[in-house]
Amino acid sequence: MNKKLFKSVVLGAAAVMSVAVLAGCGSSPAEQTASNKLVMGTNAQFPPFEFTTTNNPLVETFDGIDVAIAKKIAEDNGKELTIVDQEFEGLVAAVSTGKVDMAVAGMTVTPDRQQSVDFSDTYYTATQVMVVAPDNTSIQKASDLVDKKVGVVLGYTGDNIVTDDLQVPEANIQRANRALDIIQDVKNGKLDAVVVDSYTGKALAEKNGLKAIEDPEAFEAEEYAIAVKKGNTELLEQINKVLKEMKESGEIEQLAEKYNTMDVE
């Protein structure tokens, strides 16, 4: 072999190797396990849809309505469900970059999110509520929040509503990564209200001796759906098939009832 040829063979081999190394490092958990695992991204701070528990959890340490739905989807595809628990704010990016196969997180379909991910058929209708102290009389409707101290969870639809629609001044908004933390601040009087999804808000209010106030005129209906990477129609169709079956058989309603009466931490 002449010198030049030898050099190009070595370089070629090095290039192939570095591509292989890069591919190894760069492949996401979803891609590495694509064959037998279905990777669900969620934020397990959202009872009764997803939460962690030591009391007989459904998958790993996780339980909830979304976990039950996702488990069904995985089983239907002959796959094992793996759960990645992360901050809600990064979920859309995790789906669109393929870090997870799907986000099942009580996620409301919004035009903004639809630009980055595809959504399944919807499976639950919610709205926002205001969680306040039991003796609070100054907050009866959403517009009362404008001069109050309000907590929201970062990146939730509640954050957008308080910030953009109700125009609560920035200085009066506290953003947290967990609804549980700001609910504590309503309890100890640091915040006047937390704006959060209805099912979760009611459950947290009940658990913490607070009250959840609705305002259907200000807070629109929100539809939850499962997000997948844009163009992943194969998974989307499988998800929609399972959702359809679960809706028709009444299973989703049963799950909502089951987790409503369950003590969810």
Where are any strands of DSSP class E within 50-199? 50-52, 62-63, 80-85, 102-103, 117-126, 128-132, 150-153, 173-176, 193-197
Q: Name the one range near ligand GLN by CB under 6 A: 78-86, 102-110, 130-138, 185-193.
A: 102-110
- Binding part of the chain for ligand GLN, among 29-37, 99-107, 227-235, 237-245 by CB under 6 A, reads 99-107
- CA-closest candidate to residue 42, choices 25, 23, 58, 24: 58
How many residues in the chain? Answer: 265
Site string for ligand GLN, 113-152 (x = CB under 6 A): ----------------------------------------
Structure tokens at 142: 């959403």
Is 156 a residue that touches ligand GLN (CB under 6 A)?
A: yes
Task: Using the minimum distance from each CB to ligand GLN, give the nearer residue, 106 or 136.
Answer: 106
Of residues 52 through 91, those in contact with ligand GLN by CB under 6 A are 88
- For residues 8 and 70, is the Cβ–Cβ distance under 8 A? no
Task: Out of 105, 168, 183, 242, point to the residue binding ligand GLN (CB under 6 A).
Answer: 105
Among 41, 47, 64, 106, binds ligand GLN (CB under 6 A): 106
Task: Report angle CA 82, 86, 89 to the nearest 5 degrees.
Answer: 130
Write out the residues near ligand GLN by the rule CB under 6 A.
43, 46, 88, 105-108, 153, 156-157, 197, 222
